[in-house]
């Protein structure tokens, strides 16, 4: 499944370059272009799903396992003090790119990130 007008389809496929932290057959993990904090990353499935409403069940299970693995790895690399996992569905909830993605936002003491 793919949407030719979707930027995250192109990034996930590697057709548009991105700062990739991890990649496998199902997902690409990239740094956010406009980070809320140092090391803000996104998990993108390679297939196109608008958001959580229609995400494939198997991928839905895999994405949290991947998030767990990534935050465990990144917290040591970044030296952050905590993590927010955020996932927005539809415009009213703050979704701006309509290809499912999960935010992994490192938190640092007194960082003033407003979520
Ligand atoms: P949303 O608001 O949909 O939950 O999150 C979209 C996120 O994607 C935002 O944090 C935004 O900074 C990021 N973003 C938008 N376009 C690009 C892009 O072309 N490359 C990267 N790496 N991040 C992007
Ligand atoms: Zn897409």
Mark whether 99 is an active-site residue: no
Q: Which of 40, 99, 101, 103 is catalytic?
A: 101
Q: What is the CATH number of the domain that holds 83?
A: 3.30.428.10
Closest CA to 101 of 87, 84, 85: 87
The pLDDT confidence band at residue 115, using thresholds 50, 70 and 90, is confident
Question: Does any domain span residue 51?
Answer: yes
Count the domains in the chain. 1
- What residue numbers bound the domain in which 98 lies? 7-107
> pLDDT tens digits for 58-86?
999 999 999 999 999 999 999 999 999 99
Domain assignment present for 1:
no
For ligand 1, atom 20, the nearest C-alpha belongs to 33
Q: How far is CA 104 from the centre of its chain?
A: 6
Percentages of the chain per state (helix, strand, coil), in multiples of 5: 30, 20, 50
96 to 19, 33, 114: CA distances (angstroms): 20, 13, 17
Residue 11 forms part of a structural domain: yes
* pTM of structure: 0.97
- The reported pLDDT for the residue numbered 2 is 87
8: CA distance to ligand 2 center in Å?
5
* Residue keyed to tokens 């927005």: 88
28 domain-assigned = yes
Q: What is the dihedral of CA 91, 113, 69, 81, to 10 degrees?
A: -160
Instruction: Look at residue 115 and tell me if it is in a domain.
Output: no
Give residue-wise pLDDT tens across range 26-52. Answer: 999 999 999 999 999 999 999 999 999
């Amino acid at each position: 499944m793919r949407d030719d007008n979707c930027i995250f389809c192109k990034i996930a496929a590697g057709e548009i370059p991105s700062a990739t932290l991890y990649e496998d057959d199902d997902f690409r993990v990239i740094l956010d272009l406009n980070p809320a904090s140092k090391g803000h990353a996104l998990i993108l499935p390679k297939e196109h799903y608008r958001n959580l409403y229609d995400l494939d069940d198997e991928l839905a299970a895999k994405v949290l396992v991947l998030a767990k693995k990534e935050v465990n790895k990144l917290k040591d690399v970044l030296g952050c003090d905590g993590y927010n996992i955020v996932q927005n569905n539809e415009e009213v909830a703050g979704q701006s790119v309509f290809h499912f993605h999960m935010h992994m936002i490192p938190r640092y003491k007194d960082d003033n990130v407003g979520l």
